[in-house]
Structure 1
C-alpha cells in the first residue's frame, strides 16, 4: 500500500476545490440554470387610460383588454410612451394576472375589486 504524502494530498484537494467552484459558478453542479421566461405575442389596438390602475392597455377585436406594463413592471414604459395611441401593435412579453382588492376602509379605491390580465412588455412592433 502506497502512502500519500502531504504535497500530493494538498494538490488533489486544491484541484477538487477548483473544479467544484467552477461547476457551482457555472450552474452545472446543481443543474438549475435560470430559464428565460416564456414570451407571448399579442396583437391589438394600443390605448391609453389616464386614471385607471394601468395606463397602457391592448384592446382585442372582441373588446377584451390586457394591461401593459414595462419589462420591469413599470406603469409608464418608455417603449409605449413613444407611440401615438391609438395605434395597432404587436407586443411580446410575459403574461400574468393580478387581483385588485378595491382598497381598504382606511384607503378606499375608486375602482372595485377586479382581476387584471397584464403583460410585462419586452418588445413592441407597430403594425400597419
Structure 2
C-alpha cells in the first residue's frame, strides 16, 4: 500500500493541466493558486491554441471555463474528447449557465464547479480526475 501511495505521489507531481479561460483576472488568480501544487500548467484562450497544445502535449486534466465561452465551450469540450479521449475535463461555470454544465456532463466532462468555489475542493477533484485517467489506461 505504501508503494502505491508513493507511486501516486510521484505521478501526482507530473499532472499536466490545461486551463482554458478567457477571463484574465480569474485565470491569473487560479494559476497563482494552482502553481503551488507543482502542476505543469498550460494556457489556452483561442481554439487554435487548444489544437496545437493537444498535438504536442499529453494533457491529464482540463479546466474549461464555460462562463465566458458559452456554447463555443461545449464545442471545445467535444474537440478535446475527440482528439484526446483519456483527458479528463472539469467545467467551471456560473449558475446562470447551468444548462451548459448539464450538457457538458452529458458530453463526458468529469465534473463541474460553479463560481464561486473552494479552490481546495477543485484541487482534490483535479487529483480525482487524474486518478480516473490513470485507471482508464
More helix by share: 2
Greater C-alpha Rg: 1
Mark yes or no: TM-score above 0.5. Answer: no
Q: Compute the TM-score of the two structures, normalised by the length of structure 2.
A: 0.20
